[in-house]
């Protein structure tokens, strides 16, 4: 029997397949289904500080609008005793999930203000989350902001959060850093226990008929895995941090690739959104089958086996494709 | 026992008592009583219990008549039941009140007394409604202040349980119902102490029950009815003593001592006024003031008006009395005197005759009217009445507070007379509606009242406009108790604040400032610049009165701290800092505490931005060094332009600049009929931004004009020669209209009338191909464009109206060539209802009669000073009337009956006179095809000819026909109203009118809620939406009015949404009018009570249709004759989810935010509702309509 267990952020997980941050986790029943399907942990949907602030201000705006203006209609809505426009429902959900499932629950946070990051991180810990993944989602459009300033800000932020909480902390990274290894190292130095590679940003599309910019959710394709795969392979063994691969995992084979490159776990979202939680069970079966077929004994055994430090040709991970093609052509002995 | 001192208005105070003393509450909203019902509903939803430990059950009914019926039913089965109402609502309860009293049933109805609609509707306070109910047999208990209102609510309940007489407890609408004052709150223990549970059990025991069956409401005959009616005499005889007993018990508990008739004043008074309601406080304070100067005056406050105890009244009158004046806050035309006057005269005469009167000689007695519809009743007026009584021949049946230059009933009074205490601080704040000024002031009063030992009072005056309105807050506070139910007078205000700079141009607000007072101005100009931007009148007053002048740029602080347009906490902080009522730091702490209390539940971000605003305020507050001279070149604007008609200038103009009180009786129309088209003279300039037209991008589709709620963006097609005299900035472009080749086309905006709602921009489909964000119209700042665009507008309006026969109005673009005859209303910016009315006025306005139900459409349609229904260059336009709420369909039917009858009569006369008039003319008239504009125009020509010929005839029938002739031009009868009318209170009448089969067009402006009174649920409110009386989300589905109407089979029914499909809406209007029978159009109207960005209103309409919750259809009975299915579904099957539509709206979203589980359940049901409805409609539209004759023919 193959041993699928792995360790991630100090947690012992029964297998390397984790459900990543998505709307699935908004309902306890769904998370239960993921657990039943075999997920070894769940990363909750992100708590967006910006959304909380927006909801709160929007509610205030619309409840105030038009009030105390016309004598017959001094208000337009009943005013309730309480509104869930803070993080309460998210925190309640963490508690409910902890009460309902056995597998670890990892909180996910996207803040917008320094105070917000720290405050919500603490609350998520207090609510009982086993770990916290910081979702640093931002599109920097400020032409005067240097890469160093941007990175320094993030590092300072992560340090503050690290000081504030005791549960394991991971960062969901985007690939758009000038020197990704340096940035990753700084994060680890700041006390981060894990790195999740990579965040997929929703990119807006253009409707040429209506001449409008439209938001568009595109689920990942298998090709999306290549980028995080490369970087995990490069990072493995060189950073004191666990690695998680997210984006483009669609099959058991993909999970194995991720583990071999050096990831402790592989995260799924698009595949689950496309095919439902049952797909997860199928993927686990695929992993079992592959490992049995290839006579691998355990996940631990193959963990990082194909990372840069461990492969035959480490430079393959560093060069862009065309270089390899040329080199291979050049390397051919012509007779 | 320590009771809490609380600061609140009478509605809330009364509701607190009534709620705790009842088990069932059935209500219907009506201003100014709605607040009581809303409180009850909110508390019930929160699970707050009454004094017996159970939660009262609150039910909203379809009308007050329904509420009274439900109350009667609940009472007769033994519940402790109450209701809250006013005015027309109370009238509708009268039949049940007779029953409830006749059956000796204990209950208290709480009424915020309001005027009755006679020559006009008024939401304001007087005693017309309660006195109209005085014959019902209800006992009547009057309160004169907020404290009394709370106290009497309890006393009434105790008395009704003991006496078995039902009570009507009333207090002045607005003046007391909405006055915020500091009172001692009655505790649960107080309530329990006053209510005898054995009486409660007895009441319950009398309830109908099969366990002890009896019958009530028998029909009786002449043999016994009379005797049966006399059986209640002992109960009415005992009632006054029972009430006094309850009052005495109350006094022992609280120390506040009341009597059926309370006397105050000199013990040896010679002149006495008898009065009930808040006016009594004014008279009492005036008498006190004058008595201190040596006069001998007194006042009797009437508390128990029914049963009227002659004995108790006589005991209250001092023996020294030489003259009595009785004040009535109502008018009973045709009576020998007003109600209280008649009662008192009867009492005095009886007493005198029996020898039980306290005086030997009958005093001189006069009676008069005051304060109708919250007309101010001031100490000066009270004094004038006391002075009148000094005369040898004092005026009887006088009026006071107005100038009656027609029948000369009015008394003169000295407007400078004031009895204000110097220790009391008086502050007036002029705010822009919804900027938070009123809320901040209510909060300030609360802080002062509850955190200091000061007494505090707040009263708020609102505007009749639904957007861009002016609010005026009157605050008093000080060490002495405040008994001043009148506004702060000219020259009496220690502090005047203006929260909107441009009000300085419109209103003389500094006339209220007392010398040496403070003036705080919200100004975008700094302390060093502001002086030169003030009108010269303002400068002069500041100098003359030596005012201390402060400025703050509150909008900038608000923007920086994320407060948007809400300057409440900013101005409030400044007020406290300047007034010094609390030390600065303490004031800030208190403000922050109440921010947390009020807004904490809306989230940290909201609390924080308010805190930031408070913290930023004082640093931005600056005192202005006042120069010695008034040097400004600017003057205050006149309210209407010089070119306005005389009536507009002399009468409406005065009302616009807040001088309406000075208008004499002769200025008003005798029958309440006002001229049309007056909004064009009131240039409001409330838009911060207005649309700017880009001719090169415009595709001339007409959509911008179609959707504009205010008719401020219009189009015209005209001859190019007319451009010769166009102003330099006037834009035009080659017209793309095949009906008029070679013509020019312009889209023009009315810059001073636009509200800046932006719907035109949203509707515009034309985008710049090089810059997608730029459309054929784009918003730009109004101020720089005001002058040039005003000139352009004037020129545009001078261009000829397009010939109605040239452009067939069957397309959206053509329809907008027709002149709108509904313009510049005071509706909310971006209103969803008004574009439909404007469209109807374009299509049919010059031959349209409208019956308009009470509601938003009657307010923006008919609230003075200016009204939007207008007339064209020929002087024709919609004739409009609002009757009541419940009768609107019938009212419109009556109009149709007249037109039909007159047409019939005119036809008969035409035929009889055809010899003299000419056979051809008569035939042409009678056979005219008036199905299009050309036909109607031709008929107009014929009718003119007819009238010319009739004018020269000697036949007496000619004069008859001449007076009727205009009816021969086809008329269009429209019955308009909202969903509150159509689905609820007016439904019975609507149903009958549909059934009657006459040619009427009914337009239901469906906002899915009672918009005008602040968002109470109607049967049109959809499932899962939150509204007042559906605070937990409406659990039942929306009534399908369209389906019900279709059931008749001969009614044209259309469901439209202009934002989803404008062409469909247009088609429906044309088909409805063309259909010779009853038509009903149900029109989706987005509304501020949906809690949406109003600029997205049209998009939400699209979403409503796309998710299937609002299917578009037309049911045209005319198709049945062609063997076709009359139902055509005009929108597609749902393409988006209900949530995608609903959760853009606060009315749905707030349930998700407060009770997610329930929101999910209801939303799931809402989705099923949509599926069910589509399933039904789809199948209905597929039914074969070939049967009977048609089928046989085919076979």
Q: pLDDT tens, B904-915?
A: 999 999 999 999
Confidence of residue A319 (pLDDT cuts 50, 70, 90): low
A211 touches chain B (CB under 8 A): yes
Chain A CB contacts of B439 under 8 Å are 67-68
Is the pLDDT confidence value at A323 over 60? Answer: no
Of the candidates B187, B16, B201, B15, the one whose C-alpha atom is nearest the C-alpha of residue B106 is B201
| Mean pLDDT, residues B138-144 | 98
B1001 is catalytic: no
Q: Which segments of B408-480 are extended strands (E)?
A: 425-432, 455-461, 470-478
- Provide the chain A residues 63-92 that lie in CB contact (below 8 A) with chain B: 63-86, 89
Chain B CB contacts of A67 under 8 Å are 434, 439
pLDDT (0 to 100) of residue A335:
42
B31 is catalytic: yes
| Mean pLDDT, residues B949-954 | 94
Which residues are registered as beta bridge partners of B973?
B849
B313 touches chain A (CB under 8 A): no
Q: pLDDT tens, B1166-1189?
A: 999 999 999 999 999 999 987 766
Is the pLDDT confidence value at B330 over 90? Answer: yes
- Rounded to 5 degrees, what angle do the CA atoms A224, A229, A232 make? 140
How high does pLDDT run on average in chain B? 96
CB-based contact A72 B1013, cutoff 8 Å: yes
A149 touches chain B (CB under 8 A): no
Greater pLDDT, A112 or B1124: B1124
CB-based contact B1014 A73, cutoff 8 Å: yes
A182 touches chain B (CB under 8 A): no
B564 touches chain A (CB under 8 A): yes
Count each helix (H run) and each strand (E run) in chain A, helices first: 13, 12
| Mean pLDDT, residues A109-138 | 89
Number of other residues whose CB lies within 10 A of the CB of residue B921: 16
Burial class (CB in 10 A: 0-12, 13-18, 19+), B47: exposed
Chain B CB contacts of A68 under 8 Å are 433-434, 436-439, 460, 462, 471
Token pair for B558: 């608000």
CB-based contact B602 A53, cutoff 8 Å: no
B179 is catalytic: no
Which residues fall within 8 angstroms of residue B552, CB to CB, at 6 or more apart?
Answer: B520, B521, B522, B523, B570, B571, B574, B617, B620, B621, B622
| pTM, two decimal places | 0.94
Residue whose entry in the numeric block shows the structure tokens 């063997």: B1123
Provide the 3-class DSSP secondary structure of residue B344. Answer: helix
Provide the 3-class DSSP secondary structure of residue B70. Answer: helix
pLDDT (0 to 100) of residue B1143:
96
| CA distance to partner chain A, nearest, from residue B1029 (Å) | 8
| CA distance to partner chain B, nearest, from residue A165 (Å) | 22
Confidence of residue B1194 (pLDDT cuts 50, 70, 90): low
Distance CA B280, CA B379 (A): 11
Which residues fall within 8 angstroms of residue B682, CB to CB, at 6 or more apart?
Answer: B639, B640, B652, B656, B824, B865, B866
CB-based contact B603 A211, cutoff 8 Å: no
Chain B CB contacts of A80 under 8 Å are 601, 1031, 1150, 1154
Of the candidates B285, B654, B291, the one whose C-alpha atom is nearest the C-alpha of residue B486 is B285
Distance CA B344, CA B256 (A): 26
Assess contact for B1001 and B841: CB atoms under 8 A: no
Chain B CB contacts of A55 under 8 Å are 603, 1153
CA distances from B723 to A241, B560, B712, B727, B746 (A): 77, 46, 21, 9, 11
CA distances from B41 to A80, B24, B29, B176, B1165 (A): 11, 11, 12, 21, 24
Number of other residues whose CB lies within 10 A of the CB of residue B799: 18
| A205-207 and A194-197 beta bridge pairing | unpaired
B1012 is catalytic: yes
Confidence of residue B876 (pLDDT cuts 50, 70, 90): very high
Dihedral sign from CA coordinates of B907, B908, B911, B914: negative
| Mean pLDDT, residues B698-704 | 97
Assess contact for B454 and B420: CB atoms under 8 A: no
| Mean pLDDT, residues B174-189 | 97
A128 touches chain B (CB under 8 A): no
Distance CA B437, CA B82 (A): 34
For B1017, nearest residue in chain A (alpha carbons): A77
**Torsion of the alpha carbons at B855, B857, B859 and B865, rounded to the nearest 10:** -170
Among B41, B434, B601, whose Cβ lies nearest the Cβ of A68?
B434
| CA distance to partner chain B, nearest, from residue A117 (Å) | 14
- Mark B107-131 as b/e (b = at least 16 C-beta within 10 Å): bbbbbbbbbbbeeebbbbbbbbbbb
Among A62, A79, A84, whose Cβ lies nearest the Cβ of B1091?
A62
Assess contact for B344 and B274: CB atoms under 8 A: yes
CA distances from B628 to B169, B207, B495, B497 (A): 56, 77, 21, 22
How high does pLDDT run on average in chain A? 89
- Rounded to 5 degrees, what angle do the CA atoms B483, B486, B490 make? 120
DSSP classification of residue B72: H
Chain B CB contacts of A86 under 8 Å are 603-604
Assess contact for B100 and B75: CB atoms under 8 A: yes
Number of other residues whose CB lies within 10 A of the CB of residue B770: 6
Q: Which contacts (CB < 8 Å, 24+ apart) does range A210-213 have?
A: A211/B767, A211/B769, A211/B772, A212/B772
Assess contact for B5 and B144: CB atoms under 8 A: no
Greater pLDDT, A216 or B374: B374
Q: pLDDT tens, A92-111?
A: 999 999 999 999 999 999 88
Residue whose entry in the numeric block shows the structure tokens 């861009």: B468
Confidence of residue A112 (pLDDT cuts 50, 70, 90): confident
Assess contact for B1039 and B1064: CB atoms under 8 A: no
Of B114, B206, B426, B506, which one is the catalytic site residue?
Answer: B114
Provide the 3-class DSSP secondary structure of residue B181. Answer: strand
Distance CA B754, CA B122 (A): 28
| Mean pLDDT, residues B41-46 | 95
CA distances from B242 to B147, B196, B247 (A): 21, 13, 9
For B826, nearest residue in chain A (alpha carbons): A70
CB-based contact A63 B1088, cutoff 8 Å: no
Distance CA B674, CA B672 (A): 6
Chain B CB contacts of A70 under 8 Å are 433, 462-466, 469
**Domains in chain A with CATH codes:** 6-327 (3.20.20.70)
């Amino acid at each position: 029997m193959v041993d699928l267990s792995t360790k991630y952020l100090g947690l012992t997980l029964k297998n390397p397949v984790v459900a990543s941050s998505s709307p699935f986790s908004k309902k306890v029943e769904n998370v239960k289904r993921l657990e039943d399907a075999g997920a070894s942990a769940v990363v909750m949907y992100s708590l967006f500080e910006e959304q909380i602030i927006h909801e709160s201000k929007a509610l205030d705006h619309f409840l105030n609008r038009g009030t105390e203006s016309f004598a017959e209609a001094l208000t337009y809505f009943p005013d309730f005793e309480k509104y869930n426009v803070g993080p309460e429902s998210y925190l309640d959900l963490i508690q409910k999930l902890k009460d309902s499932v056995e597998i670890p629950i990892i909180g996910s946070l996207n803040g917008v203000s320094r105070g917000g990051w720290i405050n919500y991180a603490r609350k998520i810990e207090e609510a009982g989350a086993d770990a916290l993944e910081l979702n640093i989602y931002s599109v920097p459009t400020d032409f005067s902001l240097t890469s160093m300033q941007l990175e320094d800000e993030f590092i300072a932020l992560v340090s503050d959060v690290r000081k504030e909480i005791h549960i394991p902390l991971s960062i969901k990274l985007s690939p758009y850093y000038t020197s990704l290894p340096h940035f990753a190292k700084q994060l680890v130095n700041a006390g981060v226990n894990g790195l999740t590679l990579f965040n997929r940003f929703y990119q807006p599309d253009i409707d040429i008929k209506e001449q409008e910019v439209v938001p568009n959710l595109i689920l990942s394709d298998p090709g999306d895995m290549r980028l995080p795969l490369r970087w995990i392979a490069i990072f493995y063994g060189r950073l004191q941090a666990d690695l998680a691969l997210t984006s483009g995992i669609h099959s058991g084979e993909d999970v194995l690739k991720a583990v071999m490159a050096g990831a402790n776990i592989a995260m799924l979202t698009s595949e689950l959104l496309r095919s439902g939680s049952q797909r997860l069970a199928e993927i686990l079966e695929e992993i079992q089958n592959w490992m049995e077929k290839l006579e691998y004994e355990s996940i631990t055994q193959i963990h990082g086996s194909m990372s840069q430090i461990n492969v035959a040709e480490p430079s393959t991970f560093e060069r862009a494709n065309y270089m390899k093609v040329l080199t291979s052509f050049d390397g051919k002995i012509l007779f | 026992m320590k009771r809490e001192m609380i600061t609140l208005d009478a509605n809330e105070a009364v509701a607190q008592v009534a709620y705790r003393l009842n088990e069932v509450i059935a209500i219907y909203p009506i201003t100014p009583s709605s607040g009581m019902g809303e409180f009850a509903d909110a508390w019930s939803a929160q699970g707050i219990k009454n004094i017996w430990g159970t939660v009262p059950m609150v039910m909203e009914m379809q009308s007050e008549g329904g509420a009274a019926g439900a109350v009667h039913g609940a009472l007769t089965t033994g519940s402790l039941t109450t209701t809250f109402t006013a005015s027309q609502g109370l009238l509708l309860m009268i039949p049940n009140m007779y029953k409830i009293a006749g059956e000796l049933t204990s209950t208290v109805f709480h009424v915020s007394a309001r005027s009755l609609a006679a020559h006009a509707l008024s939401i304001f306070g007087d005693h017309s409604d309660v006195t109209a109910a005085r014959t019902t047999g209800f006992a009547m208990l009057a309160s004169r202040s907020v404290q009394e209102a709370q106290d009497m609510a309890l006393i009434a309940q105790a008395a009704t349980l003991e006496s078995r007489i039902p009570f009507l407890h009333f207090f002045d609408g607005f003046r007391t119902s909405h006055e915020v004052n500091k009172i001692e709150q009655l505790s649960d223990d107080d309530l329990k102490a006053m209510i005898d549970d054995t009486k409660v059990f007895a009441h319950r025991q009398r309830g109908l029950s099969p366990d002890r069956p009896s019958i009530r409401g028998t029909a009786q005959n002449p043999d016994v009815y009379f005797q049966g009616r006399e059986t209640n005499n002992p109960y009415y005889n005992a009632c006054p003593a029972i009430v006094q007993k309850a009052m005495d018990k109350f006094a022992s508990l609280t120390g506040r001592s009341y009597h059926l008739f309370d006397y105050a004043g000199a013990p040896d008074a010679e002149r006495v006024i008898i009065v009930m309601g808040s006016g009594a406080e004014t008279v009492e304070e005036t008498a006190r003031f004058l008595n201190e100067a040596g006069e001998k005056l007194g006042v009797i406050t009437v508390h128990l008006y029914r049963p009227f105890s002659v004995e108790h009244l006589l005991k209250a009158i001092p023996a020294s009395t030489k003259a009595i004046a009785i004040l009535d806050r109502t008018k009973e035309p045709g009576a020998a005197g007003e109600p209280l006057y008649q009662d008192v005269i009867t009492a005095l005469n009886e007493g005198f005759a029996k020898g039980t009167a306290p005086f030997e000689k009958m005093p001189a007695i006069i009676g008069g009217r005051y304060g109708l519809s919250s007309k101010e009743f001031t100490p000066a007026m009270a004094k004038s009445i006391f002075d009148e009584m000094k005369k040898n021949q004092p005026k009887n049946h006088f009026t006071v507070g107005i100038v009656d230059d027609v029948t000369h009933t009015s008394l003169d009074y000295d407007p400078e007379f004031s009895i204000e205490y110097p220790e009391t601080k008086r502050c007036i704040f002029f705010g822009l509606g919804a900027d938070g000024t009123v809320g901040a002031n209510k909060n300030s009063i609360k802080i002062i009242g509850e955190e200091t030992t000061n007494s505090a009072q707040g009263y708020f005056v609102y505007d009749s406009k639904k957007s861009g309105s002016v609010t005026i807050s009157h605050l008093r506070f000080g060490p002495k108790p405040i008994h001043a139910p009148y506004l702060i007078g000219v020259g009496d205000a220690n502090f005047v604040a203006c929260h909107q700079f441009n009000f300085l141009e419109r209103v003389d607000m500094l006339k209220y400032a007392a010398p040496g007072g403070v003036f705080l101005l919200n100004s975008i100009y700094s302390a060093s610049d502001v002086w030169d931007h003030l009108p010269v009148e303002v400068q002069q007053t500041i100098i003359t009165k030596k005012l201390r002048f402060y400025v703050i740029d509150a909008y900038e602080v608000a923007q920086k701290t994320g407060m948007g347009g809400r300057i409440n906490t900013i101005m409030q902080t400044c007020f406290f800092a300047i007034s010094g009522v609390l030390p600065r730091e303490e004031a800030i702490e208190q403000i922050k505490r109440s921010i947390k209390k009020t807004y904490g539940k809306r989230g940290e971000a909201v609390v924080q931005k308010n805190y930031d605003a408070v913290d930023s305020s004082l640093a931005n507050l600056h005192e202005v060094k006042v120069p010695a001279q008034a040097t400004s070149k600017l003057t205050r604007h006149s309210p209407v332009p010089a070119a306005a008609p005389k009536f507009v200038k002399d009468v409406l103009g005065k009302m616009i600049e807040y001088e309406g009180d000075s208008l004499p009786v002769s200025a008003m129309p005798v029958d309440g009929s006002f001229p049309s088209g007056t909004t064009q003279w009131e240039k409001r300039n409330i838009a911060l931004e207005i649309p700017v037209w880009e001719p090169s991008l415009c595709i001339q589709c007409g959509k911008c004009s179609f959707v504009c709620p205010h008719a401020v963006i219009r189009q015209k097609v005209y001859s190019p020669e007319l451009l010769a005299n166009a102003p330099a900035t006037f834009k035009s472009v080659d017209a793309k209209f095949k009906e008029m080749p070679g013509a020019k086309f312009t889209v023009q905006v009315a810059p001073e009338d636009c509200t800046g709602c932006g719907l035109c921009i949203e509707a515009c489909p034309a985008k710049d191909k090089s810059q997608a964000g730029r459309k054929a119209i784009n918003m730009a700042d109004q101020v720089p464009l005001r002058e040039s665009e005003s000139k352009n507008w004037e020129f545009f309006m001078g261009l000829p109206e397009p010939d109605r026969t040239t452009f067939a109005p069957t397309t959206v673009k053509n329809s907008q060539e027709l002149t709108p005859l509904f313009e510049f209303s005071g509706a909310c910016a971006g209103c969803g209802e008004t574009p439909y009315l404007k469209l109807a006025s374009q299509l049919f306005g010059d031959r349209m009669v409208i019956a308009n139900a009470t509601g938003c459409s009657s307010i923006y349609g008919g609230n003075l000073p200016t009204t939007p229904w207008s007339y064209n260059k020929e002087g024709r336009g919609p004739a409009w009337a609002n009757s009541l709420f419940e009768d609107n369909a019938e009212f419109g039917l009556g109009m149709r009956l007249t037109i039909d009858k007159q047409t019939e009569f005119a036809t008969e006369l035409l035929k009889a006179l055809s010899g003299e008039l000419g056979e051809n003319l008569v035939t042409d008239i009678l056979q005219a095809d008036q199905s299009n504009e050309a036909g109607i125009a031709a008929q107009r020509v014929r009718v003119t000819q007819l009238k010319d010929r009739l004018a020269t005839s000697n036949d007496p029938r000619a004069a008859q026909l001449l007076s009727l002739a205009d009816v021969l031009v086809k008329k269009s009868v429209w019955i308009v109203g909202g969903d509150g009318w159509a689905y609820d209170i007016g439904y019975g009448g609507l149903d009958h009118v549909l059934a009657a089969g006459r040619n009427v067009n009914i337009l239901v402006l469906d906002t899915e809620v009672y918009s005008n009174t602040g968002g109470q649920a109607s049967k049109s409110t959809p499932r899962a939406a939150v509204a007042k009386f559906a605070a937990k989300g409406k659990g039942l589905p929306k009534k399908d009015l369209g389906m019900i109407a279709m059931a008749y089979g001969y009614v044209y029914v259309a469901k439209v949404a202009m934002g989803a499909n404008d062409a469909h809406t247009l088609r429906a209007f044309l088909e409805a009018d063309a259909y010779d029978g009853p038509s009903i159009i149900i029109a989706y109207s987005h509304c501020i009570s949906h809690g949406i960005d109003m600029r997205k209103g049209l998009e939400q309409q699209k979403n409503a249709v796309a998710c299937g919750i609002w299917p578009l259809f037309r049911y045209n009975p005319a198709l049945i004759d062609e063997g076709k299915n009359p139902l055509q579904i005009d929108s597609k099957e749902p393409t988006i989810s209900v949530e995608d539509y609903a959760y853009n709206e606060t009315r749905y979203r707030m349930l998700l935010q407060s009770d997610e589980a329930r929101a999910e359940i209801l939303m799931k049901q809402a989705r099923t509702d949509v599926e069910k409805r589509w399933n039904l409609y789809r199948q209905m539209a597929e039914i074969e309509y070939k049967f009977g004759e048609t089928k046989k023919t085919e076979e």
